[in-house]
Amino acid sequence: MAFTTSNSMFWKGFRDGAPFIMVAAPFGTLFGVFATEAGLNLVQVMTFTATVFAGAAQFTALQLLLDDTPTLIVLLSALAVNLRVAMYSAALTPYLGAAPLWQRTVAAYFTVDQSYALSVVRFETEPDLTVPQRMAYFFGAVTPLAPAWYLATYLGAVLGTRIPESWALDFALPITFLAMIGPMLRTLPHVIAALVAIVMALLTAGVPFNLGLLIAGTAGMMAGAQAEVVLNRRKAAG
Amino acid sequence: MSQIDPITMWTVIAGLAIGSFGLRFVFIGLVGDRPLPGWLLRHLRYTAVAILPALIAPLVAWPQATGGQPDVPRMSAAAVALAAGYWSKNVLVAIFSGAATLYGLLYLLG
């Protein structure tokens, strides 16, 4: 009985996750192309994409490596880009924290934008789900996405070197990231965080080792958090 | 642009693989059901929306492909991608709008 219901939750997750192949596949292809153009061989590209499993952080690391940034700064900056998955992990914990450790370990690896976003919405709207049903839904949601991501990266890596310069792929990264940022600007504090980060990034562009990214990112985070506190206080007072 | 040497590349891959898993595992794996301080969650909420624009802003203002000269097609494409993402809430729509703007203007302005 429990197995049947978990099974149906898996397929529910699968159906909800499947449309995001349309996002994961082009992004993965782009990473494959970008990494190959940067001089990585196929083994490096695929190890990178399979072990890190976080497109934005992978792009950040490569971009900084191409700018001759010291390794430690590359790691810190790329992990800063990935700090949001720690937030996802924290947000999923109340729902999945009671599952067996091995399941939580596997779930941790598959914690990405889409699996987090779909799962949290589902768990909030259906509070009566059991922990196994929630896990089934979570894994269902990533099941179509992960293979699409690996395969797309592979195709991008194989095709990469054959793409002509006139395609202006140098700008694919900014466009893709800006496209991701747009939907994130849900509230005024989010907008403030982004604006402060942009201004600080331009002002600190001359700081050595690309440390400006960490400075600007931290400033943006603090501005967003502070704006949230001020707005909530005002709401409580009014 | 310079070649990335293999030792540096593998160091970065290994460090990122371990670090990324650590970030994902820290709460769901280690913290379990215990509550988290509000200030920490509040800052974590704004990481993506701060770090990603900070990474992109210099690339838009001073694109590598033009030798660091500000460039109308790239600047416009960036603005369109951001605006389309904001209004449509759809990442794919935003990517295609931005790409169409870039190619359109590169073609028109030669």
Provide the token pair at B29: 């794996």
ipTM score of the complex? 0.85
What pLDDT score does A179 carry? Answer: 87
Using CA atoms, how far apart are residues A145 and A192, in angstroms rounded to an integer? 32
Using CA atoms, how far apart are residues A41 and B58, in angstroms rounded to an integer? 28
Asked if the Cβ–Cβ distance from A56 to B10 is below 8 Å, we say no
Averaged pLDDT, A131-155: 95
Using CA atoms, how far apart are residues A86 and B45, in angstroms rounded to an integer? 10
- Does residue A237 carry a pLDDT above 80? yes
What pLDDT score does B105 carry? Answer: 94
Tell me the average pLDDT of chain A.
Answer: 89
Q: How far is A160 from chain B (nearest CA, A)?
A: 16
CB A190 within 8 A of CB B86: no
Q: Chain A residues with CB inside 8 Å of B14's CB?
A: 51
SS3 B94: helix
Terminal-residue alpha carbon distance, chain B: 25
CB A62 within 8 A of CB A39: no
Q: Which residues of A43-76 are buried (b: 16+ CB within 10 A; e: fewer)?
A: ebbbbbbebbbbbbbbbbbbbbbbeebebebbbb
Provide the token pair at A181: 């940022």
Nearest to A178 among B31, B51, B56 (CB): B56
A94 or B24, which is more confident: B24
> Which CA distances in Å does A57 have to A52, A177, B74?
8, 11, 23
Please report how many Cα atoms fall inside a 13 Å half-sphere around the Cα of residue B87, on the Cβ side: 8
Token pair 């703007």 is found at B101
Q: Which of A57, A131, A138 is nearest to A94 (CA)?
A: A131
Using CA atoms, how far apart are residues A4 and A100, in angstroms rounded to an integer? 19
Please report how many Cα atoms fall inside a 13 Å half-sphere around the Cα of residue B66, on the Cβ side: 16
Asked if the Cβ–Cβ distance from A52 to B17 is below 8 Å, we say yes
Residue type, A190: H
Q: Chain B residues with CB inside 8 Å of A85's CB?
A: 20, 23-24
Q: Chain B residues with CB inside 8 Å of A216's CB?
A: 50, 54, 57
What are A15-32's pLDDT values in tens digits? 988 888 877 888 898 899
φ, ψ of residue A39 to 5 degrees: the values are 100, 5
> Which CA distances in Å does A91 have to A58, A120, A217, B29, B34?
23, 8, 21, 12, 12
What are A146-165's pLDDT values in tens digits? 999 999 999 999 987 777 76
Q: What is the pLDDT along chain B (110 residues), one digit of tens a residue?
A: 457 889 999 999 999 999 999 999 988 888 776 777 889 888 888 887 888 899 889 989 998 788 888 899 999 999 999 999 999 988 789 988 999 999 999 999 87
Using CA atoms, how far apart are residues B53 and A195, in angstroms rounded to an integer? 8
CB B97 within 8 A of CB B72: no
Asked if the Cβ–Cβ distance from B55 to A201 is below 8 Å, we say yes
What pLDDT score does A3 carry? Answer: 54
Q: Which of A11, A64, A161 is nearest to B12 (CA)?
A: A64
